[in-house]
Structure 1
Amino acid sequence: MKKKSVLLIWLIISFVTVYSQQRILTIDEAAIEQYRKFYPQYLQQLQWRSNSETFTFNKNGNLYEGNLKDSSKTEILNSSEILKAFKVHNLNSPSPYSSFLWVNKNLLKIETTENIILFNVNSKKIEQYVTIDSLTENIDFCNKSKLLAYTKLNNLYVSDMQSKETAISDEKNTGIIFGKSVHREEFGIVKGTFWSSSGKKLAFYRMDETMVTQYPLVNIEPRIAELKNIRYPMAGMQSHIVTVGVYSVESGKTIYLKTGEPNVQYLTNISWSNDDKY
């Protein structure tokens, strides 16, 4: 009896398998990019509105607000209003995918490839903006002080919204880098600058990799591939040395933390206390 049951189950499984293999896929099912059909819907740039119980999201360049009490959603800023405000300052209009981030309850930070803009959603006007060039990377905006920290090549800078730029470093040796992620982004390191709670101080990484051997890679992005060297510490060879600096906006001075020996060590999880003392 037991053998007959096992045989029956085997026959059923075989029949289902054979039947399923006979089904012919439709053109739509067999075509590429089917993930577009089955991809779950989501809200772009979903975030909480500062100092409120509502959330906002970006849909086709328009900003909508919703809450958790009901399913209603209200348009609080549309692309036409944004475009009108941009034209007043002769700024190129942002793309529908430009970053919208809250600075406070009524002020948005809009990032484009050319500018950082502070936009008031109540007045529908641009309050301040700063222009950035093609060399500017790793932008870190402080909501409290409205200051920008960013890198150009291997150096670190701070600027206010009136484009008054201050160089935190002026290193000519490209093997010494300021304000970028270090330790090859291990241990969750994804950035190189850290504003204090008040925005009056800035902690940053300084990485000396002049002792690290350069490793050749091929850059295939240009039409004709190019050779690009990176510094990569092979197993058993000298690694880079990282230190942490602290820049004071008020005094304009920089100090470096004494982290002890050995100097080749991982410095991770950089954060500030609420009173800026630590």
Structure 2
Amino acid sequence: MDSTTTEKLYDLYSYFVFKTREKYFDDGNVNYFFDKYLFLNNSQYRVSLIYEDAQIIMARICKSGLKEKFIPTKIQSDITILKEHLLTSINIHFDPYARIRFNMHQFIEEGGKPDINILLDDGTKKKNQISANEFSDIFLDTFDYGNELKLLSDAQKTYVPVQFRYLSLYKWLELEFKTKGRWNDSFISFTDQVEDEFQKRNFSKKKFSNYLHDIRDKCAHIKSNSDALGVTSLSYEDEKKVIEFTKFLSIVCIEYFNQIKLKDKSCKVNFFAQQNIDLA
């Protein structure tokens, strides 16, 4: 007796949220500001903007017919291109202040409807409360370090493209460790202190100091291949590397700032969800 089995396929729904609100909902029966099927690199995608209360709430990009619950690199790269151009188009023509707050995705059996129903519990209201006296200490004790703190702060803003966040950290390193345009001896001491932690993370076989500069070049001169200059974003592979290294470098720079610059101060700079690295 012949038996046949139908291969199970999946639809990928990738979401990019533009507006902060308590609840995000999508069952397929939503208001669309834009809803088109587009071809990119020989693949078809359904690109939609979900609209509510006269605002574009989020983008949804759908890719059908995946054989497993896994996003291939090519598909991820295509989605990144579509996402970037969606945001640019919104900024230019509709809302110059729109930015991507966060993203999420789900896999549904092919032909099914999306099923997003998320209620966010914002725990930051309690966690980040400080007293007026604490704020006064932070503001006054760090006033002389305004430019440095601005760079460290910008590096933590996840809505800023990661290449610019990394370059903010690199600029902070230049302000701290360059003398007359040259890296000074303190930079060598700093990178030596971080080397062991860097190697534990398996970012690269290169030394920490060399990898710092390599990532800087990658962010400052974004290239999609050897001949073309990419003007919007890093490739998917490069973006993953830079995101992870930027998190690590943010922790390193903030720990250095706290332990060296704020050594005798009661206040300290926060890095949310940080893992401490001792540079003492």
- Same structural fold, with TM-score higher than 0.5 when normalized by the shorter chain: no
TM-score normalized by the length of structure 2 = 0.26
**Highest RCO, 1 vs 2 (Cα 8 Å, sep ≥ 6):** 2
Higher normalized helix content (fraction of residues)? 2
TM-score normalized by the length of structure 1 = 0.26
